[in-house]
Structure 1
Amino acid sequence: MTAATRTEQDAFGTVEIRSDRYWGAQTQRALGVFEIGEERFPAVLVRTFGLQKFAAARANVQCGVLAPVLASAIETAALELHEGLWDDHFPLTIWQTGSGTQTNMNANEVIANRANELLGRPLGTKAPVHPNDHVNASQSSNDSFPTVMHVAAAIEMTGRLRPALDELRSALAERSHAFASVVKIARTHLMDAVPMTMGQTFATFEHQISNALARADGALPRLLTIPQGGTAAGTGLNAPRDFDGFFCATLAEATGLAFAPNPHKFEGMAAHDALVEASGALNTIATSLLKIANDIRFLGSGPRCGLGELLIPDDGLTSSIMPGKRNPTIAEVLVQGCFEVIGNHQTITLAGASGNFELNVAKPVLIYNLLQSLRVIADSVRVFSRRLVCGIEVDRERLVKNVNQALLAVTALNPILGYDRVAQITATALEDRITPRAAAIALGFIDGDEYDRLVDPAVLARGGRL
């Protein structure tokens, strides 16, 4: 059975649209033009358009551009969009013109139709609220879409990524404190080295995440500087004086973030360096997280035939063929998420370099990948923190055995016996398959009591010189 349709008119003629759809002629035409892929913008970007149109309507009233009765209906419809009521009425994929014009028009049409409905008019009438003349007043896709890009990225950075990283930092700090006195053997070049503590290992992870938070915070100020008011090319044609200031004040009040007008709107529309910078921070954060996740995977490998120094919490999942097998699935998810972010950064870099004269023409693919990176990192970090890090324990018996068998604790004897004699101890211990303590005594270099006094792994883990 064919769904009922309505007929809408635009500059290119008539077009048929499902009668229950709130988009208009331009969106319907775009559906027929851009039959590419299935990737759609995440809800945060669609809903951010609601914020952007709300702030624009309020600024237009303050500038005397919009009648209050029309602005009120637009604001109500825009806030409904922001609240997620009209997510299903954004059917386009990200594969569209490089300015994001079709998604901006989609937002204009949905809001105009809903505003007219609120004013007692049927869908498709374009009156009294017109999608271009009223919803898009004082705007262009060329300044609106990059503004939405900045706002959505800033919302995800502050509301999603930062809390997840802070939660992970706290979990790592707690495990660092819990393992502060647990001695282990460091590994360099994947080989045994000198004593340290498991607490120091987790303190290292904690410091990496503290730096990750600083990197996210460092990228934020440029995200909060937006080009709205530049209209088509950055000159501000058809935008009234002070529109950008009123717009940012409304946006800041609505989000709690200190958005401010870009003083050089040409830069904010032709280049997206701020977004590439944010992706660069995520790229570095992903690199840090890869190190942490892989170290935990390997330290927990086993349980019988691997390193087995960490005890990874059971996630209740197992192998399809090996009954009872437990795998570090949460760490593996984080690793895969990091791969995605690192790959996305390459796409974002190329997209950011695709500004031609006064307009960047790769906005949709840039923001799609950036928002995916923010979402994947934030969500996988949160799961990693709650389902793995918080429940990690140490196998103390295994660690004691490893420390007692380790060769390189005798490095502490270098200042007393000299490098060559200590090398003899390690070589003898390795060849005869005995402990370095037994080798040192057998070689006559030191007695057992003196060895135990000088080669105390817990003391050596604190560093310094004997």
Structure 2
Amino acid sequence: MDKFRTAKDTLGEVQVPVDVYYGAQTQRAVENFPISGLRLPPAFVKAQAIIKASAASSNKQCGALDAKKAENIIQAAEEIIEGKWLDQFVVDAYQAGAGTSQNMNMNEVIASRASELMGGEKGDFSIVHPNDDVNMSQSTNDTIPTAIQLSIADQLHNVLYPAIDQLIAQLDEKEGEFHSVVKAGRTHLQDAVPIRLGSEFKGYKGAVQSVKKSLKHAEKSLYELGLGGNAVGTGINAHENYAKLAIQELAKRTDLPYVQSENTYSFMQNTNAAIRISGHLKELAVHLIKISSDLRLLSSGPRTGLAEISLPAVQPGSSIMPGKINPVILENLYMICSQVIGNDTCVTTAAIGSQLEINPMMPVIGYNVLQSITIISNGMKVFTEKCLKEIKANEENITKWLDQSLSLVTALNPHIGYEKAAAIAKESFETGKMLKEILVEKGIFTSEEAEKILDPKNML
């Protein structure tokens, strides 16, 4: 039988499971928002704990917080930073506006744990108080956007960039591996002038490199923090040195260049940094969809499609057709990227919800950007390791399609002009004869001349 204790807040008494660290406000949020079962991820919780530890350190230095309380708040926060007590953060991602429930969940857990460290019981807020002590000099309105930016920066460096770099390195390797393979180019899905297979992979590499460059530029906006703005940006109830000291501690704990925003009002009214990062994640998703779609098309077949490349077989492709192998890794990547594009739409819509002094839609903004980073990073890693590394060129098919490409006729333009070249191409299409054959039959070129002019390698 479940056991409960009675917890209190300004609205009255609430029954809370006896073995949890959180209190009445968290329990109310659990009961009020049984929406999705989704939670803000561990990276966000870690960022919140870093903020609480930094705030306690700053308040101690400013003489606003009792040293013993501060030390135990910091210890409790550091336990969370290390990954303990994650099961105590139970508020749904779709919760009260601005993230007040999320902020109070953190405040209550840290206060309860700090009280326990000081000899009290779980939920004994008479020793360390969630609002008066843990939340001192803070508000949901400045800590939640700060946590969004801290957690995004953490995930960029530890999750996204490594996955991007691994993908770029493998695309670079494929560019070199396929450099000597000349194939038919295609524009509008129609025959076009020749291209190296390696050059197609060079194009993919360049697109991913470009997005990383944009992300690195947008990343700079994550380091300007309005922590200390408190409720509306004025810094009410905070010591004049609090923000500077707290942000210095944040920078020290994360080893990232966080600084005070020059405009706390703008920081709290908007979610600029998250919007920018989300937009570049969408851009990355668009490029990855293009790559996955190209590779599915180039590997189509194996007998009735282009079949210019072969993908590694990772699992059976059909429950009814024996021996069928599908491009499942590429399909998986497409689905992931579709979700990332949808997440950006959600972030954009939520950002529009900013009104007057704050954006009350911050929890869903944080959740979607962090989810996008997680899934697109994992998708790129799986694609790189289980598909891209093992792609092979089917040179026999490549040569077959190249020899039949009518766009080789483009090389004739400088010799006989566009209109005559177009007539040769039309005749080749209608009769099924090769371009070289028609040119020789009509006495336009000798066999050797036609061979030289139509050599695909001379068109690269």
> TM range, normalised to the smaller chain?
over 0.9
Distance apart, 1:205 and its partner CA: 0.4
Separation in 2, partners of 1:424, 1:9: 88
Separation in 1, partners of 2:114, 2:288: 46
Distance apart, 1:171 and its partner CA: 0.6
Separation in 2, partners of 1:80, 1:182: 56
When normalised by structure 2's length, the TM-score is 0.98
Separation in 2, partners of 1:202, 1:363: 39
In the other structure, the counterpart of 1:117 is 116
Kept in 2, the 8 Å contact 1:50–1:78? The answer is yes
In the other structure, the counterpart of 2:335 is 336
Separation in 2, partners of 1:382, 1:392: 15
1:354-365 equivalences under 5 Å are: 354-365=353-364
Q: Secondary structure at the match of 1:96?
A: coil
In the other structure, the counterpart of 2:177 is 178
Kept in 1, the 8 Å contact 2:408–2:454? The answer is yes
Q: Secondary structure at the match of 2:98?
A: coil
Separation in 2, partners of 1:415, 1:189: 24
2:11 matched to 1:12? yes
Separation in 2, partners of 1:94, 1:404: 57
**More moved, 175-184 vs 235-244:** 235-244
Separation in 1, partners of 2:152, 2:83: 17
Matching residue's letter, 1:357? L
Separation in 1, partners of 2:126, 2:455: 84
Separation in 1, partners of 2:255, 2:439: 66
Kept in 1, the 8 Å contact 2:145–2:268? The answer is yes
In the other structure, the counterpart of 1:41 is 40
Matching residue's letter, 2:168? R
In the other structure, the counterpart of 1:258 is 257
1:47-196 equivalences under 5 Å are: 47-196=46-195
- 1:290-310 deviation per Cα after TM superposition (whole angstroms, max 9, x unaligned): 111111111111111111001
Query: Percent sequence identity over matched residues?
Result: 38
In the other structure, the counterpart of 2:429 is 430
In the other structure, the counterpart of 1:214 is 213
Q: Secondary structure at the match of 1:356?
A: coil
Distance apart, 1:397 and its partner CA: 0.8
Separation in 1, partners of 2:438, 2:63: 90
Q: Secondary structure at the match of 1:185?
A: strand
Q: Secondary structure at the match of 1:15?
A: strand
Matching residue's letter, 1:241? E
In the other structure, the counterpart of 1:376 is 375
**More moved, 205-214 vs 259-268:** 259-268
Kept in 1, the 8 Å contact 2:155–2:370? The answer is yes
Q: Secondary structure at the match of 1:193?
A: strand
Separation in 1, partners of 2:301, 2:252: 53
Distance apart, 1:221 and its partner CA: 0.9
Separation in 2, partners of 1:420, 1:358: 66
Kept in 1, the 8 Å contact 2:29–2:96? The answer is no
1:312-327 equivalences under 5 Å are: 312-327=311-326
Distance apart, 1:420 and its partner CA: 2.3
Separation in 1, partners of 2:415, 2:266: 64
1:289-328 equivalences under 5 Å are: 289-328=288-327
After superposition, the Cα gap between the structure-2 partners of 1:317 and 1:240, relative to the gap in structure 1 and judged at 3 Å, is farther
Matching residue's letter, 1:111? I
**More moved, 8-17 vs 432-441:** 8-17
- 1:168-224 deviation per Cα after TM superposition (whole angstroms, max 9, x unaligned): 111101100111110001101100111110011000001001101111111101111
Kept in 1, the 8 Å contact 2:111–2:128? The answer is yes
Separation in 2, partners of 1:342, 1:263: 32
Distance apart, 1:435 and its partner CA: 1.3
Kept in 2, the 8 Å contact 1:162–1:216? The answer is no
Kept in 2, the 8 Å contact 1:219–1:274? The answer is yes
Unmatched 5+ stretches in structure 2: none
Kept in 2, the 8 Å contact 1:272–1:352? The answer is yes
Kept in 2, the 8 Å contact 1:181–1:458? The answer is no
Matching residue's letter, 2:103? N
Matching residue's letter, 2:355? N
Distance apart, 1:43 and its partner CA: 1.7
Separation in 2, partners of 1:393, 1:55: 52
Separation in 1, partners of 2:200, 2:86: 45
2:402 matched to 1:403? yes
Q: Secondary structure at the match of 2:97?
A: coil
Separation in 2, partners of 1:315, 1:37: 33
Q: Secondary structure at the match of 2:83?
A: coil
Separation in 1, partners of 2:119, 2:323: 64
Distance apart, 1:93 and its partner CA: 0.6
2:447 matched to 1:442? no
After superposition, the Cα gap between the structure-2 partners of 1:317 and 1:250, relative to the gap in structure 1 and judged at 3 Å, is farther
Kept in 1, the 8 Å contact 2:310–2:394? The answer is yes
In the other structure, the counterpart of 1:464 is none
Kept in 2, the 8 Å contact 1:308–1:395? The answer is yes
RMSD: 1.2
Distance apart, 1:443 and its partner CA: 2.0
Matching residue's letter, 2:30? L
Matching residue's letter, 1:244? A
Distance apart, 1:36 and its partner CA: 2.5
Separation in 1, partners of 2:82, 2:309: 44
Kept in 2, the 8 Å contact 1:426–1:439? The answer is no
Q: Secondary structure at the match of 1:16?
A: strand
Separation in 2, partners of 1:411, 1:318: 40
